[in-house]
Amino acid sequence: MSFPACRHRNRKTKPAAQSLVWLGSEPYRLFFLSGILFSIAGVAMWPLFFSGNFPFYPGVSHARVMIEAFGGAFVIGFLGTAGPRMLSAPRLKPWELAAFFLLHLANGLCHLRGLTIWGDGLFLALLTGFALSLGTRVVFFRKEWPPPAMLLAATGLVCGIAGTILWLNPAWVARPEIQRFAGLLLYQGFLLGPVMGVGIFLFPRLLGGDFGEDVTFRRMALAAVALLASFAVEVWVLPAAGQILRAAALLFALAHVRWRRGKDAATPGTLANALRFWCLPLAVIGLIAPVFSPLQHIALDHLLFVSGFGLLCLIAGSRVLFGHSGSLERFAQGSWIARGIVFATVLAALTRASANFMPKIMISHYEYAAWSWAAGAGLWTLWHARRFFKRDPGDD
Ligand code: HEM
């Protein structure tokens, strides 16, 4: 399995149209950039609110911006680039790219302004349109079947769509258990599915080996069922059992990944080490910790949100950006900038997760955590600034 750069440009088309065709074949270039900027806006709501410079309490809007506008941008950027390639199907057309990107921008801006219903409606349109676009390619245009792990990525999209539909029906989410279920589907399932599915073949590559392919459809189906069941078990049976089942589903799905470096393998770079030592361990701790402190689950969930989702987006995004701009080897190198990014994001995760355990300094910790994430995300954006729109010189 590869994640190749597009090598088929039509030389007869005009430069502007050519650029749109190019961006359609590599939508991550737009989505990663706007997603990371939304993430900075989404955390900045907290210090702005506490300093009296934000007009409303940002609880719901923050959550939606972070999951829909930030996480969603990385999911669509990644699957929109890799999906058609895996199927050997046509890349996204310029009109598809334009429609998805406008929906995404409008979705994020609505949530920043507290227009939750509008924001959710636009997100539903975006996810449904995107799923239909990939689904059409699977049914009518594929030359190859997608790898089994993509079942998990598709499960994530289904969670996102189902969770948003529930949120859009006030009568349903008036019931606390449905509200919790909707929250789990949208805030966890939507991103855990792609993390598990894409991780199975991408993590081995990030760790210095080949793309992982060694998984069966049956295994992936089992992981998907366990993930979905974990939400229902948490809400309707026993919260702790659901949380443990979800952590088990993640570990089961990623069990094939060789986390330990082989004796003759090259030294992994800063970002690959961050994946092994921070990202995944903190994600698993974030999934299990609420078992021991259920009342603080939102604080502890942030170990998953900030490290498992946020830092992972930055690591996988770096691999894609380096790989598609002709400097793949830089991903595997040690880097002080990358260390700074990892430090800032892990600090944000730990500061946010611990804040609620210290009520006297809780608000100042929210602020430190927000600035720490903003610093890491800002550094990442500047680090890759040239690469967002730089072609791979080998891509003629
Ligand atoms: C790093 C700085 C961050 C701070 C200070 C922060 C702060 C908060 C606070 C105070 C809440 C509770 C809101 C309420 O209950 O009314 C919350 C909820 C939430 N945050 Fe964050 N957050 C941060 C980062 C993130 C990141 C990076 C993500 C996702 C990638 C995220 C996703 C969420 C979600 C989904 C919720 C809702 C959880 C639920 O209701 O179950 N947050 N955040």
Q: What's the gap in Å between 207 CA and the centre of ligand 1?
A: 29
The model's pLDDT over 278-318, given as tens digits with 9 standing for 90+, comes to: 999 999 999 999 999 999 999 999 999 999 999 999 999 99
Residue 298 in any domain: the answer is yes
Percentage of the residues of the chain whose pLDDT score is greater than 90:
81
At residue 16, the pLDDT reads 77
Identify which has the larger pLDDT, 4 or 216.
Answer: 216
CA–centroid distance, residue 366 to ligand 1 (Å): 10
Residue 143 pLDDT exceeds 80: yes
**Atom 22 of ligand 1, residue of closest alpha carbon:** 43
Does any domain span residue 384? yes
CB 116 within 8 A of CB 60: yes
Total count of domains within the chain? 1
- Band of pLDDT at residue 6, cut at 50, 70 and 90: very low
Residue 341's domain spans which residues? Answer: 276-396
pLDDT, tens only, 193-216: 999 998 888 888 888 776 666 788
Q: Is the pLDDT of residue 17 over 70?
A: yes
Q: Are 338 and 379 in contact (CB under 8 A)?
A: no
Which amino acid type is present at position 265? A
**Residue 107 pLDDT > 70, yes or no?**
yes
Round to whole Å and give the CA distance between 173 and 176: 7
Q: Is residue 61 part of a domain?
A: no
Specify if 377 maps to a domain. Answer: yes
Distances (CA, A) of 102 to 28, 73, 258: 14, 12, 39
Average of per-residue pLDDT across 33-55: 98
321 pLDDT more than 80: yes
User: Mean pLDDT of all residues in the chain?
Assistant: 92
Q: Over the stretch 47-84, which tens digit does the pLDDT of each residue have?
A: 999 999 999 999 999 999 999 999 999 999 999 999 99
Q: Is 258 a domain residue? A: no
pLDDT at residue 154, rounded to an integer: 97
**Cα 393 vs. chain centroid, distance in angstroms?**
28
Minimum CA distance residue for ligand 1 atom 18: 63
Encoded tokens for 192? 């855990």
The answer to whether residue 374 sits within a structural domain is yes
CB-ligand 1 contact for 67 (6 Å cutoff): yes
- For 174, the token pair is 């008036």
- Residue 302 located in a structural domain: yes
Q: Which of 57, 62, 123, 311 to mutate to test the pocket of ligand 1 (most atoms within 8 A of CB)?
A: 62
The predicted pLDDT at position 1 comes to 41
370 CB near ligand 1 (under 6 Å): yes
Give yes or no for residue 350 having a pLDDT over 90. Answer: yes
pLDDT band at 5 (very low <50, low <70, confident <90, very high): very low
What sign results for the dihedral spanned by CA atoms 64, 65, 69, 70? negative
Is residue 34 scored above 90 in pLDDT?
yes
More confident residue, 263 or 89: 89
Q: Residue 78 and residue 150: Cα distance in Å, rounded?
A: 12
Tens digits of residue pLDDT in 165-179:
999 999 999 999 999
Concatenate the DSSP letters of all residues of 62-124 into one string.
HHHIIIIIIIHHHHHHHHHHHHHHHHT-PPPPHHHHHHHHHHHHHHHHHHHTT-HHHHHHHHH
What is d(CA 196, CA 379) in angstroms, rounded to the nearest whole number? 27
Residue recorded with tokens 């680039």: 81
Using CA atoms, how far residue 109 sits from 29, 69, 75, 393, in Å, is: 19, 9, 18, 35
Q: Residue 186: CB within 6 Å of ligand 1? A: no
In a domain, 231, yes or no: no
pLDDT of 267 = 74
Of 324, 75, 76, 289, the C-alpha closest to 199 is 75
Looking at residue 201, what is its pLDDT? 81
Give pLDDT, residue 207: 84
